Amino acid sequence: MDRTAARWAPRLVLLAGFLLGTGWFVYFYALGLTTAHYDAKAHLLVARRLLDSTSPGYLQLGVHWLPLLHILYLPLVLFEGQYRTGFFPSLTSVCAFALSGWLLYRIALRCTGSWRSGVFASVILLGNANWQYLQACPLTEPLFMFLNLAALERFLAWRDNPGAGLPWAAAILASLASPGV
């Protein structure tokens, strides 16, 4: 039983993250709250200004927010409906939320050797009410957390594999999470 649970735990954590994230997204979207946060509207605006502005271009990204997110949003916000509602941009946050729970499971499993610790760590993250709202909106925080957790997980994998060379995957993921990309 324990071996079966250990084998299914990462899949169930990932599935739970997607179901929970999608459920909260549907709830907040139905109430019109996905773009109620000022930053959510601002992220959509920044992405749109890359092409639709009096001075379009990369300089529209500024220096305070994760530029990767705005580049990801760019093809989505060119459509007026997506720009106004943030439907598909919010779904990128839902994916980042679910993958963050799964990565946290992997990190806790790697550090403790216990699948139960991994599940517990994921439940703490996925059960956070503030995080559940943030992941339902087109914000930088879910992608930022996902990229940092992915960088940490890759770094720990590199650490556990002596002679693996340099931790390029961890470095690239950490670079993508930085505001200066």
Q: What confidence tens digit (pLDDT) does each residue in 143-169 have?
A: 999 999 999 999 999 999 877 788 999
What would the pLDDT profile of 82-126 be if each residue is shown by its tens digit? 888 889 999 999 999 999 999 999 999 999 999 999 999 999 999
In the chain, DSSP finds a helix count (H) and a strand count (E) of 9, 0
pLDDT of the residue at 181: 46
d(C-alpha 118, C-alpha 121), whole Å:
5
Distance CA 62, CA 125 (A): 30
Q: What is the pTM of this model?
A: 0.90
Calpha distance 22→41 (Å, rounded): 20
* pLDDT score recorded for residue 83: 85
108: amino acid identity, one letter = A
User: What's the pLDDT at 177?
Assistant: 87
